[in-house]
Chains A and B, each alone.
Chain A
Amino acid sequence: MRSESSSDKKFTPLVVVGWLLSLLVLFPLYIMVVNSFKSRQEIFTNQLSLPSSLSFDYYAQAIAQMGFLTALGNSLLITGVSVVLIVVFSSMAAWVLERRKTKTSGFLYYMFIATMLIPFQAIMIPLIQYINKWQIPSLNFALLNTRYGLIFMNIGFGMSMAIFLFHGFIKTVPYEIEEAATIDGCNKFQLFWHIVFPVLTPTTVTVAILNVLSLWNDYLLPSLTLRDLELRTIPLSTFFFFGQFNIEWNLALAGLVLTIIPVILFYLFTQKYIIKGIAAGAIK
């Protein structure tokens, strides 16, 4: 944060308001973090106080039981590839849907966004039945119980909202830029990737963040599609702490803290990037 608080930033009453508000946000998180250090007994006798001893035992135990590194690798791979492809495919689709306003475009656009309203629970069994048909046993190809199969489904589910977001923001991009580039002899692919896509950076970052957020924490879909232990993502591997009758809260909380750290780092990184990106854009 240090480098951000450059001298032209002001300290105003707004800063105080901001930090007061953030207390409301942070308080529940405080409960989460302090209790990840406590024994069961301590958790249920006093949830508010600081832990009596600061030992990382529960973290070590959580890491070991979850198979944390394997799960982290799977989560990174699945989330990373899914998000990149969602951004690529949805931005392309949104651009042509916005720039060619025809009946077909309108229909496709509304189809994309209307399906965002389908409760997942209503299609999950048909989905698994259908996706199971996508297999070629002789080639060892299958969409169920594989990482690329989950990525396939993530992309399908991610399309609607990403297209909706890109569509909304492409509207605000002045059309003249594109016309000028066309006159300069750009073909449509060059036009999109060299001219339009860079202008959409704030939206791209937003789409990426929102998708990282939901995919990283997704439990239901991976639990239905990944059966093998070595394919588990982080949310799936925390099942150890949620028994039928008994939830091991300290381990579950430690596991959660470990789960969200990568996303916080990702968010702060992209925020820094977006600020730089905008500064660069302004100079251009």
Chain B
Amino acid sequence: MPKRRRRKFPLYYWLFLLPALFFFVNVVVVPFFMGIVYSFSNWSGFSFAGSKFVGFQNYADAFQDPQFLSSFLLTFQYAVIMVVCVNVIGFFLALLVTQNIKSNTALRGVFFLPNLIGGLILGFIWQFIFSKLFVQLGEKLHMTGVLFNWLTQPSTAFWSLVIVSTWQMAGYVMIIYIAGLQSIPSDLLEAAEIDGAGPMKRLAHITLPLMMPSFTISLFITLSNAFKQYDTNLSLTNGGPYNTTQLIAMNIYQTAFNRNQYVLAQAKAMVFFLVIMVITLVQVRLTSKREVEM
């Protein structure tokens, strides 16, 4: 690594950073700190004026909410499964469409499509598949033990959620992996091929190590998206059957806007934020260390 030791923070450093920081601070950081302040008060969801500070009361309440704790655990389970499924499939798809094979561009476009469907429409399509198509197929194939309305049982409803979100997210990380694969210099791979390394060897010794930045990024994005999952949860299962598939974001949203307990929702969000921040930053650190500097 070359030495870069000049003035510590020259003018250009701040000039380059300033626009990004300006927007970021005003849109994300300030409201976030307002949210932290609110979480220690009895704010009613409207103007903050007139609210009183109540110390850690809201945090104490959050930990006494059984639904919060079970949503918390479920979200972790969901996030772990999602990280594995989405990245394995996404990476495989990226490898597939960067091969020099026929119709690879078309396939790229196709795998990318599910990202474009969000919200209620997604729920509509997949509810139909799980609640009708599965039932019809089950009756026809005499396999009603496997093919029934998956949304009516807690465990299958959970897996439905995993399947649909994987279907949606795999194409998303595929795009990141494609960028990673394309920035691997082709002469390296060609040189290895000339040296007699087979496709598997090339994958293990050249592609994978050079892809570490992409893995860092994709793992983080999947993890944070899984933790924040709301749309698919709402449109597919709406937390049901009987609140068994309620992920944390939905629990927070419902606390705030269905039950009008804004400060409790703020406190829940802060607790959750702290926990996942620790986890994901550890993940970023760990994977970053394994990156190869060129």
Quick check: do A and B touch in the complex, using CB within 8 A? yes
Number of interface residues of A (CB under 8 A): 109
Knowing A114-B281, A179-B2, say if A253 contacts B121 (CB, 8 Å).
Answer: yes
A4 to B204, CA, bound (A): 29
> Does A25 touch B at the CB level, under 8 Å?
yes
Instruction: Of the listed stretches A52-60, A63-71, A73-81, A123-131, name the one at the interface; the rest are far from the partner chain.
Output: A123-131
For B29, give the chain A residue with the smallest CB separation: A115
B113 contacts which chain A residues (CB < 8 A)? 25-26, 29, 260, 264
Which residues in chain A, 131-160, are within 8 Å of chain B measured between CB atoms?
131, 134, 152-153, 155-157, 159-160
Q: Determine the residue in chain B with the shortest Cβ distance to A14.
A: B101
Which residue of chain B lies nearest to A163 when distances are taken between CB atoms in the complex?
A: B20
CA distance A206 to B117 in the complex (A): 19
Closest to B7 in A: A100
Main secondary structure of the interface of B (DSSP, over half): helix
Listed in ascending order, the chain B residues whose CB lies under 8 Å from chain A are 1-2, 4, 8-9, 12-13, 16-17, 19-21, 23-24, 26-32, 34-35, 38, 45, 47-48, 93, 96-97, 99-121, 124-126, 128-129, 132-133, 167, 171-172, 175-176, 178-180, 182-183, 186, 210, 213-214, 216-217, 220-221, 224, 227-228, 230, 248-249, 252-253, 256, 262, 265-266, 269-270, 272-273, 276-277, 280-281, 284, 291, 293-294
A interface list, Cβ under 8 A from B: 1, 4-5, 8-12, 14-15, 17-19, 21-22, 24-26, 28-29, 31-32, 47-48, 88-90, 92-93, 95-97, 99-100, 102, 104, 108, 110-127, 129-131, 134, 152-153, 155-157, 159-161, 163-165, 168-169, 171-176, 179, 188-189, 192, 202-203, 205-206, 209-210, 213, 217, 219, 242, 247, 249, 252-253, 256, 259-260, 263-264, 267-268, 271-272, 274-275, 278, 282
Q: What are 6 A-B residue pairs whose CB atoms fall within 8 Å in the complex?
A: A28-B167, A29-B117, A119-B228, A122-B252, A129-B34, A164-B217
